[in-house]
A and B are shown apart, each in its own frame.
Chain A
Amino acid sequence: MLYRLVILILLLQGSFSGRSQDATEIVKASEEKIRGVSSAYTEIELKVIRPKWTRELEMKSWSKGDDYSLVLITYPAKEKGTAFLKKKKDAWNWVPAIERTIKLSPSMMMQSWMGSDFTNDDFVKESSLVRDYDHKLIGEQQLDGKLCYKIELIPKPEAAVVWSRVILYIDQQELIQMKSEMFDEDDDMVKMMIASDIQTMDKRKIATTLTLVPLDKNGYKTQMKILKIEFDRPLQESFFTTQNMKSVQ
């Protein structure tokens, strides 16, 4: 009886640890699911929730693979036209009110993005879940009645990542990232992102609401709602220039 249990455990462990390649594939597939194989265009509503007030933002976002992305704020009026551009390792911020382009330095990556709980890094995606981490399947878990892969992501030594590790829960059927937990260097969970409202958009099933909860601040959260998404429409690399950032509509 006992040795059967031991064998079972060994088998299970073997089946998980032997699949680190698979874990990478799962993460990659789930990323492609939301970001498109080649490109994606998204319209987003962002709600910053604080104990005493909330604030809403609307934006458009274009992305091409991991390397290129452009975010344009469309609401509120005061911030309309503000844009963020990411091109490989560099990122810029266009502020129309002062007619200046600000290059986002690495030290600014962890600062709040437009007053939300997202950091600049979250938006310009300087780090990539696929490229900058080693992935390991560590188990399975039920989330909202869906069976999810539980994958541990450890940043590669050279990667510019602030987390000591990230745990991703990916829905086995739809390959949707249902939840991610970010841990700091003391291995305390500091942020949690929860996906919900799964809908079909542009012929894909995706989570249309993402809620980011910083765990060290009571009552703080940021909710991101996808209003419209288009995958893999033709988009040239020449779209992602600091010139275009100023004029894109």
Chain B
Amino acid sequence: MIVFKMAWRNIWRNKRRTYITMASIFFAVILSSFMMSIKEGMYAQMIDSTIGNYTGFIQINTSAFTEDHLLDDGMEFTESIITILDLESKISHYIPRIENFALAAGADQTKGSMVIGTDIEKERQATELHKRVIDGTYLSKSDEGVLVGKGLAEYLKVKAGDTLVLLSQGYHGSSAAGKFPIRGIVTFGSPELSKQLVILTLENAQQFYSCSGIVTQINIWPEDDKLDKSMLSRLEKSFDDDLDVRTWKEVLPEVSDMIEADKVEGYVFMFILYLVISFGIFGTLLMMLIERMYEFGMLISIGMKRSKLALMVWFEAVALTLAGAMLGILGAVPICYYFNLNPIKFGNEIEKMFEEYGFEAVMRTSLDLNIFLEQAVLIVLVSSILSLYPFMKILRMNALSAMKA
């Protein structure tokens, strides 16, 4: 017990030394938390702007469709499928969709586009598509009109109220051509989607492609956006072998690959950051050790056990680190909170690069509490390990030479 008491008193004996050590931990935690928060925030945004707002976290389609994305490999949206999906409690939303390509034309311009035939009522709940309408109105239940992505509408020079011409290949070799009144213009976080989406009701799309009863995929939003393993295997078991149940990581490997690659890059960067932080902490510990050489030598010479002394110094260091880390969390949260509310906007150049990848060009921090705890724990761990150096040093200390130093 005496060891704790002495450690506590030592901490308050030289306040300046205490503050300096704590400050080095404090800034280390803030820095690494902020870095991680930005990274995680970016991933969350990437996932949100494509998966959450559009593709869903799970997709069901035929295995042939997985291969080559042809409408001809569509699936029948049967009552039995609906029953299975309705009975699965961990699914919060599911949307049957037709996804296919078509040439879209306005008065003069023509552009390749992605046609989405979807259940617009379900879309309202799962993706809040109706909130994306920036001009005109959302589709009604048996609407024969279309919604056009903002980027596509700008290219084709069309607005709500105009007519859009779609030309494509239909189901089983039929041809698909039609004129559709434009009800509204929609905008997406992902500029890539805005540039190519044409949305119509599922029935209208089935009519257009001559494929009544057929959908290309069913997109699923699980509860809390969590990919529950038991639910996935339940779904896989419930459907025939020719239907694939795929998570967004399989559906959009480019997004998950990008995140994985970026994470590895992040690890390298974080490693360097930790290295810098470690040397900072190590420096203060070393200073403390040298500063108190005489004191330690004296304590040993009046009969204090080296092991007790070493433990005391280690406790001091750990206590300081813990306090610093906690203050660090308290400091990092408001900073990250600020940048979550006011995301960092990029300049034109980087914005273009982001658009090419299909993401909104803003950097929004994540407020996931785990990030801060994780970083604090990591820093505490690092400094506890570093404090082993003075610990060892004291164990081998020679009282006389220590006092002379």
Contacts and interface: CB of A to CB of B under 8 A. Distances in A.
Interface residues of A, number: 18
B173 A50 contact: yes
Contacts of B175: 78-79, 82, 95, 114-115
Contacts of B170: 115
A82 B178 CA distance: 13
Contacts of A114: 173, 175
A116 B169 CA distance: 11
Contacts of B105: 98, 100
Contact of B178 (A48, A53, A79, A98): A98
B167 A95 contact: yes
B172 A55 contact: yes
A98 B172 contact: no
A95 B177 contact: yes
Contacts of B166: 98
Contacts of A79: 174-175
Interface string A89-132: 00000010111101000000000101110000000000000000
A119 to B, nearest CB: 14
Contacts of A48: 173
B66 interface: no
Main secondary structure of the interface of B (DSSP, over half): strand
B179 A99 contact: yes
Interface of A: 48, 50, 53, 55, 76, 78-79, 82, 95, 97-100, 102, 112, 114-116
B174 A98 contact: no
A6 B167 CA distance: 62
A115 B169 CA distance: 7
26 contacts: A48-B173, A53-B172, A53-B173, A55-B173, A78-B174, A78-B175, A79-B174, A79-B175, A82-B175, A95-B167, A95-B177, A97-B177, A97-B178, A97-B179, A98-B166, A98-B167, A98-B177, A98-B178, A98-B179, A100-B165, A102-B167, A112-B169, A115-B170, A115-B173, A115-B175, A116-B173
B148 to A, nearest CB: 16
B210 interface: yes
Nearest to B210: A78
